[in-house]
Structure 1
Amino acid sequence: MEEHKHNVGIYSGLYCGERVIRLITLATPHHGSPAANDKARANFLIDADLKTVLNLNDVFYWWQTDQDCITSIYDLFKSNTLLAALSNIFETTQNCQVQITDPNRSDLSWDNYNNLPQFQSEKNYWLDSLNKSSIYNSKLFAYYGTIDSNDSFYSYLMELTPTQLLTVFARSFITSPDPTFSFDDKYIPADYSPSGFPIPFDIHSQLMISAAMLKKCYYLENDGVVPLDSGRLFQQTVEKIVHFKGYDHTQMRADRTVNPILFNQIKEDLLNIFPSSTVLYTIDNNINPSNISFSWYKADCVYCENISYCLEIKKVNQVIFNSGEYESTPIKRTTYQLPIPLDDNTTYQWTVYPINDKSIKNTDVDWQTFTTGEDNSNSAPIAFFYVSPNTGYPSTIFNCNAANSYDLEDDSLTFQWNWADGSGYSLPSSSPVANHQYATHYCCIVFFMT
């Protein structure tokens, strides 16, 4: 987000990250993936047979799925023994491989944040540089998944010999050009399944096999494509990391059909960082432009504290007042006495932006319109009241006191209360105190004064 700047408009010169409120990444390869590098590399501790398997895996992993490649590889495995097919796989797939210069591959190469010796000669410097820029990391939620290590098929794959694992992997990538041989009819042979019966070849079983290859060759937990530490942006401090165990790479994109939890988590994380919008009290027309007080309902926020408010006033769609420019500290209260006079007989629009403790502003707000009168116009009274106690039970008697309320023109005041339980407004009274007992749980009291 810090790489790109706006070139035109009111945000010209600002980084895009300034306008981003929350960025959620789903199984994003922040550090890349070792499987994307030019030549397959593995930890030097693994055995020679597994290194050979890894190189063949590299061929399969980056082939281009055009029809000629599909046909040639399918025919190779259909007409030869397994060993003969494997011996000819390099020659058959030479024109199918995605080259290292292909952006889909080179952009994903490993940034070698963990200094693996086999990657020093081919490091993704672009990705490394991008990750070192962390200005907006506080806005980042990194969601990442891993194959469930207790899954029976995955556990079985981890026990296979390198040749057996490659056999399953190679067969899983064969897509038949023969319309009578459908993708759904392909099964892993019973001798390669943990329970002795065929397992369907689908994207999930393919990712299980790929995950086993990455785990065996690089000792990296992964989702079948992206290593765990890459998806969580390891060695960077972000606002939140969320691990979805048992989610492969496609499920991180589309959630699961059984027991889906990912999209609900996204919804919760996006919604709960915003304070709710507030309801504005109406300002009467012909109000005295020299004495205007604005009031609004308190905003709510599930996962944020210390909500503050920013009052903004427009005239002919131009901002003429912003409380953030006048106040040295954020507004915490729900009333605000305007410190400047407005023009006589002029129409204005106003709103209030709730802001959470991380300076995230809810801009989805309503605007209200009012028209001023003249200096001798009557101003609305200023309402202040407190409730004691502020919490309780249906048996609790709540005492309210509005004695600190006042009128700018020193007119006498009458008071009305709305207990928000369906009883409506109380009768007007000259007394600033009142009490109420609820029949059940309610959350707010509305005070009205004239």
Structure 2
Amino acid sequence: MRLPGRIAAAIEVLTDVETRKRPVSEALKAWGLNNRFAGAGDRAAIGNLVYDALRRRSSYAFAMGADTPRALVLAAVLRDWAEAPEALNAAFAEDSHAPEPLTAEEIAGATASLDGADEATQADMPEWLLPSLKRAFGGDLAAEGQAMAGRPSLDLRVNALKATPEKVAKSLSRFSPEPTAYALMGFTMPAGPRDARTPNVTTDEGYQKGWFEVQDQGSQMVSALAGAQPGEQVLDLCAGAGGKTLALASTMGNKGQIFAYDSDRNRLAPIYDRLKRNGVRNAQVRAPHPGALDDLIGKMDRVVVDAPCTGTGTWRRRPDTKWKLTPDLLAQRQADQAAILEEALHYVKPGGTLVYITCSILPEENDDQVAALLAAHPEASSVDIAKAWRSTLVTEMPAGLATSGGGILLTPHRTGTDGFYCHLIRKAA
């Protein structure tokens, strides 16, 4: 397929997303099944166009004067992929699969200024979230928003139970992996422009043998900040598919015990194969049933809570969720987080640590939740996050990462990672 055909396909996919209210990944998969002539390169390019259009939906709509699938995809091609309008129209004229020619208004949109746009539009973030986002970022809102609207890198964590960074780098040398800036056992492959394809590292021999896992650097960093030590008793209360359980096991050198639990059996299902492939021997999976964790109350050195949240920190990877988020969903997540934090503290032994993590950038899900917990529990107090950074990430913590409430907030703009919040809470001995 040539570019005009790919553009037409991207408009078709985005129209499917809009009309049927389905996730982008499902719409792209359905299009691929219905158009088997399209190669892997075509599917990657179409996916890039759709995701690019959604990441900057607000500013693209402002520039183009419309928020239709056609307007958004054309904006991505003209403003992000840097295609010249005249050349694009010429290509359209020569391709029977091309969309209709660009109109004068669409051509003007290629260079339209955003100077007259409001703050939310310039930051490509939902307008109703502005008060929360200003609390989080202040005057850096536009820069944070634009970084959040960029493409994410592909990050990997070396599994120290089976491999070394040198071994993984050699295995993946064809992809030119680069060491991560902060995570000590990480590699990154920056996203390419236009129709660049993301490396399929899961087919690599090293992945099959458990030498590394795909994990955003931010997730690796907050896993490290948890500070789990060999020989400790650790509860991963919201383990999900086990990404942080695997990272904790690697840090602990398979010594001690990790109890991996999740209230949703479906989320927990992939963890069994992942533990086996990674060579993890110190993790015990606790399936959800009444009283599943009763024997752990008051006995855990560390309880890690990767809480259910709005996922606002992952907007680069799932830009459709940025525009679907509602006040009701945020309120539901806040209620979930408050309940889980209360439960988690029961499992922490005197002198132990509760590690609260979200992939959210919103203060309501982060500092506010911790503040409410600390107000209700005088036996709990915040741990110095800068000190924890020095001991686990072995550098001085960069300025500007600490939140006013005593946690830490990672973002694409600040650390080149997904958005992650982490707060360490000590239970008095």
Q: What is the TM-score normalised by the length of structure 1?
A: 0.19
Higher helix share: 2
Q: What is the TM-score normalised by the length of structure 2?
A: 0.20
Largest Rg, 1 or 2: 1
